[in-house]
Amino acid sequence: MSLSSLYLAWVEDLPPRLNGVKKTRGIALTMDDGIILKTDHYAPTAEGPHPTILMRLPYGRRGFGPIAEAYAERGFHVIVQACRGTERSGGEFDPFANERADGLATLRWIKAQDWFDGRIGLTGPSYLGYAQWAISDALPPVAAMATKVTTSNFRPVVFPAGAFHLNLWLSWVQVIEGLRKAPLSTAARMFSGDIERRTERAAAVLPLIDADKAAVGHRIGFWRYWFEHAIGNDDFWAELDHSHRLSTSTPPVHFISGWYDFMLDPLLADYQRLVELGHTPYLTIGTWFHIAEELQRDNLRETIVWMRAKLMGDSTGLRQRPVRIHISGREEWHEFERYPPAPHSPLTLHLGAERRLNTRQAKGGSDGYRYDPADPTPNLGGAIFAFTGAGAVDNAPLESRGDVLTYTGPVLTRDVTVIGQGQVRLHARAERPHVDFFVRLCDIGTDGVSRNICDGFVRITPETPREADGSWRLSIPLHATAHSFRPGHRLRLIIASGAHPRYARNPGTGEPIDTATILVSNGVEVLHAGTAMTLPTHQIL
């Protein structure tokens, strides 16, 4: 037992260690095209048979070593493989493109080993989860999956609502390049906030296609290839989308995510798809962001319990209800049979005079602002890929800007608990047909601090349908959440036209986002009549 696996066992309150571990590192696995992928095997020293756990990742094998060792100490063979073009594996890293073929080749190798007993589990967060979905339809009859902060289809992650997820990809290329070339200094940059600072600087570069050089000091092949081929190209995404692999024969899946994870909504779409197909997937959602400490530790205990139940037939510790969610505001965990729980009551709040939110529909009135992409409305907290600054934060710096509208409800006299996905119906117009709308729900506490709960975004183009008067009537879904607004608190709705660099700023000209260099400001008007926010509220006992 290493000190790191001992620490994980203590922090995560893991089941007892069952055996020692034999480590074989640097196994050279040959893929179908001759590329060599470096692979590690952690084997239980106790007599078998033992099921296998597979993790394929682009972040370096050694960083996942303590996790692999903890699994192996509890009776699993564990295979950890560096994706092609990462760490010491051969080939060029092309995100998403090779995980199907390389994953299938790795499965064939595992099945040919004399220690493989026919049982296999796939696990891991984020990119590791995508690699799971890529081979999910090729697993043996006794299999299980634990997919965390991920999705089977990354298109809405890369291009949410028609925009470009700039913060994610500028930060992620720094992580991928850094871990490949200088893992120790990159780890230090993660904790110091330097990743976020460099992302801010790189996001200001025009044309945006050159932002890769500002982020990592040189050109990134897939960054430029994506700009040239991925935008609006259905054929590009056809081979990379694995959502069609979710079927009646999909192995048991435990989904794990956070309310402030930017991939939560696509993950919930995968969950709902399996429910519709007759499965009973497990779902665990905490008030976490994408790289929160709990998720970084890979939710070891949850995964061990899940794999034991589905691969070993030992349901000890497996909860009876499949859905477990954390409700912020109450700071409580609750369990349900399904997500979202039923029934719910819709609460609709309308815009009113003097920037108020109330239950009465407005007959008229409007508010306006000017959005200037040369001084873009900044993002603040929320469901972002960041090592610092994600999640719920004080929104005062955002709300004080002249290009941001805020509408505030009355002081609550009872709990208002929202579980699920709300919606903002926005009635607005603008001087120019190229405009974005960002909406955000906040909780104003008794201390007067406005903290973000969830938000939504949409990009408007000349093709977006308009009313006869030139206005838009838009329906903007809010990010899924579970939160209780407590007595003495107030609800607040924020409306703006950007959240930079979370979403690449709209230049206002219609130029392609990769080559645009001209920035034009835009006058925006939000009409009270027809603008409202509807939230699914629940009674929690």
SS (H, E, C) 48-102: CCCCEEEEEECCCCHHHHHHHHHHHCCCCEEEEEECCCCCCCCCCCCCCCCHHHH
| Closest to 303 in 3D by CA, of 135, 152, 147, 150 | 147
**Banded pLDDT at 3 (limits 50, 70, 90):** low
Residue 529 lies in a domain: yes
Whether the predicted pLDDT of 297 surpasses 70: no
**Could you report the per-residue pLDDT of 465-507, keeping only the tens digit for each?**
999 999 999 999 999 999 999 999 999 999 999 999 999 999 9
The whole-number average pLDDT for the span 153-169 is 93
- Are 482 and 355 part of one and the same domain? yes
- Are 199 and 303 part of one and the same domain? no
**Could you report the per-residue pLDDT of 64-79, keeping only the tens digit for each?**
999 999 999 999 999 9
| Beta bridge partner(s), residue 258 | 286
How many domains does the chain contain in total? 3
**Residue 510, phi-psi category: left (phi > 0), alpha (psi -120 to 50), beta (remainder):** left
> Contact, 309 vs 293, CB < 8 A?
no
- Are 45 and 129 part of one and the same domain? yes
Q: Is 204 helix (H, G, I), strand (E, B) or coil?
A: coil
The whole-number average pLDDT for the span 205-210 is 96
- Are 134 and 185 part of one and the same domain? no
The reported pLDDT for the residue numbered 296 is: 64
311: CATH:
3.40.50.1820
- Are 176 and 149 part of one and the same domain? no
**Residue 114, phi-psi category: left (phi > 0), alpha (psi -120 to 50), beta (remainder):** alpha
Q: Is 539 helix (H, G, I), strand (E, B) or coil?
A: coil
Of 202, 230, 258, the position where a domain reaches its end is 230
- Are 305 and 222 part of one and the same domain? no
**Distance between CA atoms of residues 441 and 238, nearest Å:** 34
Residue 308 lies in a domain: yes
- Are 123 and 262 part of one and the same domain? yes
**Banded pLDDT at 102 (limits 50, 70, 90):** very high
> Contact, 371 vs 435, CB < 8 A?
yes
**Could you report the per-residue pLDDT of 385-435, keeping only the tens digit for each?**
999 999 999 999 999 999 999 999 999 999 999 999 999 999 999 999 999
Of 208, 230, 252, the position where a domain reaches its end is 230
- Are 143 and 243 part of one and the same domain? yes
The token duo for 178 is 């850094």
| Residue 134 neighbours by CB under 8 Å, 6+ apart | 99, 100, 103, 242, 245
527: CATH:
2.60.120.260
Whether the predicted pLDDT of 87 surpasses 80: yes
- Are 236 and 220 part of one and the same domain? no
**Distance between CA atoms of residues 18 and 70, nearest Å:** 10
**Could you report the per-residue pLDDT of 435-461, keeping only the tens digit for each?**
999 999 999 999 999 999 999 999 999
**Of 24 and 293, which is predicted with more confidence?**
24
The token duo for 455 is 């938000």
**Distance between CA atoms of residues 451 and 230, nearest Å:** 35
The reported pLDDT for the residue numbered 179 is: 87
Phi, psi angles (nearest 5°) of residue 91: 85, -175
H helix or E strand, kind and range, residue 288: strand 282-289
* Percent of the chain clearing pLDDT 70 (strictly above): 98
- Are 386 and 522 part of one and the same domain? yes
Measured torsion, CA atoms of residues 199, 200, 205, 209, in degrees rounded to the nearest 10: 30
- Are 236 and 385 part of one and the same domain? no
Residue 340 lies in a domain: no
In whole angstroms, how large is the CA radius of gyration of the chain? 24
> Contact, 516 vs 424, CB < 8 A?
no
**Banded pLDDT at 103 (limits 50, 70, 90):** very high
Whether the predicted pLDDT of 1 surpasses 70: no
Q: Is 112 helix (H, G, I), strand (E, B) or coil?
A: coil
How buried is residue 224: exposed, middle or buried, by Cβ count under 10 Å (0-12/13-18/19+)? middle
Residue 86 lies in a domain: yes
Q: How does the average pLDDT of the chain come out, rounded?
A: 95
Residue 323 lies in a domain: yes
Distances (CA, A) of 480 to 20, 393, 534: 42, 17, 13
**Could you report the per-residue pLDDT of 251-294, keeping only the tens digit for each?**
999 999 999 999 999 999 999 999 999 999 999 999 999 988 87
Q: Is the dihedral of CA 265, 392, 282, 333 positive or negative?
A: negative
The whole-number average pLDDT for the span 350-370 is 95
Of 334, 368, 397, the position where a domain reaches its end is 334
3-state DSSP helix/strand/coil % of the chain, to nearest 5: 30, 30, 40
- Are 141 and 275 part of one and the same domain? yes
The token duo for 222 is 């897939």
Phi, psi angles (nearest 5°) of residue 359: -85, -5
**Distance between CA atoms of residues 204 and 206, nearest Å:** 7
| Closest to 253 in 3D by CA, of 136, 126, 421 | 136
The whole-number average pLDDT for the span 289-315 is 88
Provide the residue range defining the domain that includes 178.
165-230
Whether the predicted pLDDT of 10 surpasses 80: no
Q: Which residue has the tokens 């909504």?
A: 265
* Percent of the chain clearing pLDDT 90 (strictly above): 87
| Closest to 395 in 3D by CA, of 387, 386, 405 | 405
| Closest to 333 in 3D by CA, of 319, 346, 347 | 319
The whole-number average pLDDT for the span 118-140 is 97
Least confident of 7-11, 284-288, 376-380, 401-405: 7-11
